[in-house]
Structure formats: structure tokens, C-alpha cells
């Protein structure tokens, strides 16, 4: 089955700096890659996703890049703010749509004011 590895496990950045989280996946058939943000005690919430026919996608301060050849994808957060502090999860799935997600282990991001 699919295996997703996520790095780093923790990330501390100064407010205003950029944060980058990287994930690798094992199954070349995976074609949907969402990113979820989970604040303490809350549910995971989708912040951005990318499909295999796209190499990069942006939404305001966040962007995701995908390299299918290398089987890795990354989340970039620019101009970080304290409210960006949370655990971020990447995921991958196989199929026409996003069913049966396999999640990475998560990255705890701390933005220091």
C-alpha cells in the first residue's frame, strides 16, 4: 500500500519567515495530494490540495508543489503569522478522486512572534 513520509516533524520559524514542509510517497499511482491543518484540540481542515496534472498551486500565502518523477510534494507558507502555528499533515491517495487518504506523520509548526 501507499506510504507517506513527512519532514520535518517539528519546525520553528520567526514570524514573517517562510516555512517549508516536505513529503514523499511510495506509490507512483497516487494522483491526489491534500494538505490539512490541525490546531490543538480541533479537527483537521483542508488548506490546499493538488492533483497530479498540476505542478504547483497557490492560495494567498500558501503554495504546494508536486514532483511526480521524484514522488515528492511540498507545502510552502510565506510571511508566517502566529495563527499559522498548528500541526500540518500531508496525504496522498490513488484513484480518480480523493478517497482512501494515506497521511504523513505530521509537522508541528511554531511561529514565534
For residues 43 and 83, which CB has a smaller minimum distance to another protein in the complex? 43
Q: Is the separation of the CB atoms in 2 and 93 below 8 Å?
A: yes
Q: Which residue lies nearer to another protein by CB, 78 or 103?
A: 103
Query: Rounded to whole angstroms, how far apart are CA atoms 61 and 84?
Result: 10
Least distance between another protein and beta carbon 7 (Å): 14
Give min distance, CB of 102 to another protein, in A. Answer: 7
Instruction: Kindly list the residues in this chain that would bind another protein in the complex (CB under 8 A).
Output: 34, 36, 42-46, 49, 89, 95-106
Which residue's CB is nearer to another protein, number 14 or number 60?
60
Bridge partners, residue 50, by sequence: 33
Residue 97 Cβ, how far from another protein at the closest point, in Å? 3
Amino acid at each position: 500500500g501507499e506510504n507517506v513520509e513527512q519532514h520535518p516533524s517539528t519546525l520553528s520559524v520567526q514570524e514573517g519567515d517562510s516555512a517549508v514542509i516536505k513529503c514523499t510517497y511510495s506509490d507512483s499511482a497516487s494522483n491526489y495530494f491534500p494538505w490539512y491543518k490541525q490546531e490543538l484540540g480541533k479537527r483537521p481542515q483542508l488548506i490546499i490540495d493538488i492533483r497530479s496534472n498540476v505542478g504547483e498551486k497557490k492560495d494567498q500565502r500558501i503554495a504546494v508543489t508536486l514532483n511526480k518523477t521524484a514522488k515528492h510534494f511540498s507545502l510552502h507558507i510565506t510571511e508566517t503569522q502566529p495563527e499559522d502555528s498548528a500541526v500540518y499533515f500531508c496525504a496522498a491517495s490513488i484513484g480518480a478522486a480523493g478517497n482512501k487518504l494515506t497521511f504523513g506523520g505530521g509537522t508541528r509548526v511554531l511561529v514565534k512572534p
